[in-house]
Amino acid sequence: MKNLGILISLLLITISGKSQTFIPGQVYYGTDSFTEYRAGNLPIILSAPHGGYLTPASLPDRVCAGCVTGRDSYTQELTRQIEASLLFKTGCYPHVIINRLHRKKLDANREIIEATDSNTVTETYWHDYMNFVDSAKDLLYEQYPKGIFFDIHGHGHTIQRIELGYLLKGSELRQNDSALNTTPLNSKTSILNLKFSNLNSYSHAELIRGTHSFGSMLERKGYPTVPSDSIPHPLSGEPYFNGGYNTVKFGSRNGGTIDAIQIESHQSVRFTSNARTLYADSLAEAMLEYIEKHYFMNFSNGYCNYLSSIPKTETYDLTIYPNPTSGKLFFNGLNKNSNYQLITIQGKIIQSGEIEANSSIDLSLIPNGIYFIKLIDEENLLVKKIIKK
């Protein structure tokens, strides 16, 4: 198990206008306990909007025209199993948000009118769900500069395969890579930030269905997936879910650095406990592989302690200013000469050297962004996040 010291860290974020302290690994509930949030410390958010069982008589059933009320069977259980697998593999927690209400009462993957059938009481629970996801994003941003949101669903299509939604229709996926890599298709994707910031500068098409796409990672674990390098797109006439409200709202298409993928799982991987366990374990492995390949270099070296886990005790009484900085970075409290490393969010060392006590280093030539500076002497080691603007 990895070092879990970070679990005791308290991170302040705001939810529904109220300041609340969330502790990774602890469970928090919304109004009437109809929404559940387990706070995390991995750059992964799991959302289960359609797996709830509760049908309180106090809430009317949704009867609006076109409203879908069928539950995505066993997706709540699948989400909890993915969480357990990630915890086992890393010693760290993903963020998990679960709608415990049945879909005929609340659809937590629709805009508020359709989601609640315009019932003002049910709207409270819709806001709870959305606010918990926003809180998870805020908490993720406290520790990481970027991350990924997975919306967990189940489909009943005849073709037994996983369907991954990136907000691209089947007809759009059937276009060639050149089209996927140019506007307008590449600007519609729910992984827009990753398109610009992935470690290996893969194209949009490669991220969607190339060898190192999430779908191809699942294919190699024995789960047929569309899109992937084996099944690059659904054929004309084949059913396919391309992502819904949550994928739009919480992905990076409209801004931010948290991407989103909707995972639609077929019945044969959901309906028995043994199948779910094996599948959830493969999903967890693929999620970690995906993050290490595209988001954070050598992520498996630390997981939730990726940028903050250090072998020595932090004993510096040190002030670093100004932060953010546009040029020089000054150090107050550095009593002896120290070695330093300037590290990108991907873990690359781009600048290093020795710094004299109470002096400065010049960052004016490096690109704007988020970095980490590591200070080392014979007794101490300190890591601080800095922003160059």
Reported as a pLDDT band with limits 50, 70 and 90, residue 15 is: very low
Residue with tokens 């150090």: 331
Distance between CA 353 and CA 375 in Å, rounded? Answer: 10
**Which pLDDT belongs to residue 347?**
61
> Is 224 or 351 the better-scoring residue by pLDDT?
224
Which pLDDT score is estimated for 350?
Answer: 85
pLDDT number for residue 14 = 35
Residues in contact with 115: Cβ distance below 8 Å, sequence separation at least 6, in sequence order: 106, 107, 108, 109, 122, 126, 245
CA distance linking residue 389 with residue 325, whole number of Å: 6
> What is the pTM (predicted TM-score) of this model?
0.79
Residues 6+ apart with CB under 8 A from 331: 318, 319, 320, 355, 358, 359, 360, 375
Q: What is the pLDDT, as a whole number, of residue 359?
A: 80
Residue 217 pairs with which residues in a beta bridge? none
Both tokens of 180, joined, read 């996927």
Q: How far apart are the first and last CA of the chain?
A: 37
Structural domains in the chain, sorted by start: 5-305 (3.40.630.40), 319-388 (2.60.40.3080)
Asked if pLDDT for residue 311 goes beyond 50, the answer is: no
CA distances, 359 to each of 356, 371, 387 (Å)? 6, 19, 19
- Give Rg (Cα) of the chain: 22
Q: What is the mean pLDDT of the chain?
A: 89
Q: For 266-287, what is each residue's pLDDT tens digit?
A: 999 999 999 999 999 999 999 9
Measured at the alpha carbon of residue 280, what is the angle toward residues 278 and 285, in degrees to the nearest 5? 95
90-104: string of b/e by CB count within 10 Å (b at 16+)? bbbbbbbbbbbbbbb
Q: What is the pLDDT of residues 50-73, one digit of tens each?
A: 999 999 999 999 999 999 999 999
